[in-house]
Amino acid sequence: MARFHALPVAAVDRLTDDSVALTFTVPPELAEEYRHAPGQHLALRRRADGTEIRRTYSICSPAPHTEAPRQLRVGVRLVEGGAFSTYALKEINVGDEVEVMTPAGRFTLAPAPGLYAAIVGGSGITPVLSIVSTLLAREPKARFCLIRSDRTAASTMFLDEVADLKDRYPERLQLVTVLSREEQQAGLPSGRLDRERLTGLLPALLPVAEVAGWFLCGPFGLVQGAERALKELGVTRTRIHEEIFHVDAGTPTAPTTPAPAHSTVTARLDGRGGTWPVQDGESLLETVLRNRSDAPYACKGGVCGTCRAFLVSGEVRMDRNFALEPEETEAGYVLACQSHPATEKVELDFDR
């Protein structure tokens, strides 16, 4: 069950003009709760002036092997007008306490021998940095091809950390950088990494069919283009893992269908259940939250997956889903923040 704890900030490192890495100290008594897999994220919460803001940020530090983590580091990029990122970049100082949820997310890789690859854009490097550094440190028979796209070198997050990894594992880490708005002295010509370019580029870079897992992370357009390119190249969906960091307001959502007049949701959460009427237009998460303030969520936008619940009975309509893999929806999982009842009774289990 996801929980928030106030963790002290041990370091605030400026990465670029518009991004920082925040390091939190994990006290020994909470270390087990913050044990994480490489690629997972943390939701951060700020309560001020009667409002509550939550945002998820990926962990960039490697996942410790056997011991629990003593520190956790996340990358935060400033979003224009972003309430939390502005606070993180301008106000958070070493020694402050920040409310941090226990790790969540399924964009992860369990270290195993083989060839892996990632296509990332902008801050999408953050979880992949944890995945690559954990994999190469733990599994000597693993190799990784990291393809990253940024606007300019100056706006590239974790430039030094990635260069250090390349120095440490020159044979096992292949690093390909594309800058969309700046020519590089060496490497690929500038320009966007879209579907067409990737379809031509990937077979020239690595043996596509041998890649055991593809990790796509960044803005919706880049992830969607990369997924289409991989499908064109014959990669099966089960080998593709995606995490979307930014969804444009214009991104299509599922068509709306009228909800039954009087619906109820029954939800099980942290071992306790309840049944409540769903008010007109609200999501199932909102119904549950009105009655159980401990219901898990972060983005409320269908992106982070924190509100995932198992649909025990009934049917729901989801507005949009950028978080669940097809296997998860087929297995019966839904995003509560995007779900509306399509039957009079709906039953969710947040504990499964």
Q: Does 299 bind ligand FES (CB under 6 A)?
A: yes
Question: Closest CB to ligand FES among 123 and 149?
Answer: 123
Type of residue found at 84: F
DSSP string, 241-277: EEEEEE--TT---PPP-PPPSS-EEEEEETTEEEEEE
What lies within 8 Å, CB to CB, of 17 at 6+ separation is 154, 155
The residue nearest ligand FES at its CB is: 337
Closest distance between ligand FES and the C-beta of residue 19, in Å?
21
Q: Does 337 bind ligand FES (CB under 6 A)?
A: yes
- Among 311, 343, 347, CA closest to 329: 311
Q: Does 300 bind ligand FES (CB under 6 A)?
A: yes
Torsion of CA 189, 77, 61, 168, to 10 degrees: 20
Q: Measured between alpha carbons, how far is 303 from 324 in angstroms, rounded to an integer?
A: 9
Contact by Cβ (8 Å): 148, 121? yes
* Owner of token pair 């296997």: 327
Encoding tokens for residue 50?
A: 């009667």
Q: Does 101 bind ligand FES (CB under 6 A)?
A: no
Q: Which stretch binds ligand FES (CB under 6 A): 139-147, 153-161, 227-235, 296-304?
A: 296-304
Cα distances from 207 to residues 45, 128, 235, in angstroms, run: 42, 20, 11
Question: Closest CB to ligand FES among 19 and 283?
Answer: 283
Closest distance between ligand FES and the C-beta of residue 334, in Å?
10
Question: Closest CB to ligand FES among 178 and 309?
Answer: 309
Contact by Cβ (8 Å): 339, 324? no
Question: Closest CB to ligand FES among 173 and 284?
Answer: 284
- Residues numbered 302 to 321 that lie near ligand FES (CB under 6 A) are 302-307
Q: Does 335 bind ligand FES (CB under 6 A)?
A: yes
Q: Measured between alpha carbons, how far is 175 from 133 in angstroms, rounded to an integer?
A: 13
Applying CB under 6 A, what is the total number of residues that bind ligand FES? 14
Question: Closest CB to ligand FES among 222 and 323?
Answer: 323
Closest distance between ligand FES and the C-beta of residue 113, in Å?
33
Q: Does 298 bind ligand FES (CB under 6 A)?
A: yes
Interaction site with ligand FES (CB under 6 A): 297-307, 323, 335, 337
